[in-house]
Amino acid sequence: MSNPTTTQDIPRTMRAAVLVSKGQIRVEERPVPRPAADEVLIEVASVGVCGSDVHYYREGRIGDFVVDAPLVLGHEASGRVVAVGADVSGSRVGERVAIEPQRPCRVCDQCTAGRYNLCPHMEFYATPPVDGAFQEYVTIQAPFAHPVPDAVTDDVAALLEPLSVGIWAGRKAELGPGSRVLIAGAGPIGIITAQTAKAFGAAEVIVSDPIAERRAMAERYGATAVLDPTADSVADLGVDAFIDCSGATPAVRSGITAVRGAGAVVLVGMGADDVPLPLPVIQSRELKVTGVFRYTGTWPVAVHLAATGQVDLAPLVTGRFDLDHVEDALDADLTPGSLKAVVRP
């Protein structure tokens, strides 16, 4: 570790909300981390609650990632740089930043090919055993602390992480001016993806969700049309791309049938481990089917879209909580009308 450069007194300890067992969060006093030579120390301002945080909290695992030791959740984060490592310019102290919550190795084949999101050695916030941001201070490598302008609030800066998912999905779907896209799921990611599609120039952004309130929200933020999958068929839409943000097996299966020949199917939502797919449709239409796993190089675009108002993230925040009420934040999705909870350490 290096001796950090700072312009303020930093406490020796901090408060952290720790997942100590499935369904149990405990606030603990922990040492404030010291930035390594290539890192910055960030005083956390806002942290969005993601579905993965909720899954770890309720189930103790996501697929092969198992919480087998105390873990700090939270990876959608913003804050202010309060100290820097020896190799980072002291001019960064005081910057407001959005955190890209990952540390790739930068030297493996995936990293050098520009796909650092697929780095097999990735350390990602709130993914066992790496702690996340439901605490007062965090460190990150300096290039992954992205400066944000005053037009971007702390809450919005934290939500640049889910916006990055939407941007990555839009790129995978090859969206551009005039595109027609179907998006399944009008939760936070679905609505953010719909806004992103509109910002990318899509002419038609059709959002499907069984809940009327969420369909109405999608119409307010990006959707040109909405569908109720329990009543409306999508089979004859002939869209250029289908992006699933629901993880629901029926939505995935029907969405694939909505895509024209040579179109794209992008799977964002996490659902069942095994899903039967309509292979004749995929084969006869030569559809491109791909997943989304985090993102690469999306933050500059995310900052631009948020700062210029092309994507409006602020209304998605429907609840704010402190460290003493992280369990309430993780259960906020059980409240009707809730979209995105944030924790302000």
In tens, the pLDDT along 117-134 reads 999 999 999 999 999 999
The dihedrals phi and psi of 54, each to the nearest 5 degrees, come to -65, -40
Residue 274: CB atoms within 10 Å: 6
Per the document, the length of the chain is 345
pLDDT value for 1 = 45
Q: What is the mean pLDDT of residues 150-169?
A: 98
Q: What is the mean pLDDT of residues 39-52?
A: 97
On the question of a cis peptide bond just before residue 128, with omega within 30 degrees of 0, the verdict is no
Q: Which residue has the higher pLDDT, 9 or 318?
A: 318
Q: CA-based Rg of the chain, rounded to a whole angstrom?
A: 20
Query: Which is nearest to 309 in space by CA: 153, 146, 145?
Result: 153
pLDDT tens for 162-199 read: 999 999 999 999 999 999 999 999 999 999 999 999 99
pLDDT value for 190 = 97
Beta strands in 178-233 (DSSP E): 180-184, 204-208, 225-227
pLDDT tens for 184-240 read: 999 999 999 999 999 999 999 999 999 999 999 999 988 999 999 999 999 989 999
Query: What's the CA gap between 217 and 300, in Å, rounded?
Result: 26
Give the pTM: 0.95
Q: Please give the share of the chain, as a percent, with pLDDT higher than 70.
A: 98
pLDDT tens for 69-121 read: 999 999 999 999 999 999 999 999 999 999 999 999 999 999 999 999 999 99
Angle between the 160-172 and 299-307 helix axes, to the nearest 10 degrees? Answer: 110
Query: What's the CA gap between 281 and 273, in Å, rounded?
Result: 21
Query: What's the CA gap between 89 and 131, in Å, rounded?
Result: 26
pLDDT value for 8 = 63
- Whether residue 122 contacts residue 16, with contact meaning beta carbons closer than 8 Å, is answered with no
The dihedrals phi and psi of 65, each to the nearest 5 degrees, come to -90, 110
All structural domains of the chain: 5-159+313-343 (3.90.180.10), 165-291 (3.40.50.720)
226-229's contacts with Cβ under 8 Å and 24+ in sequence apart are 226/186, 229/184, 229/254
Residue 237: CB atoms within 10 Å: 22
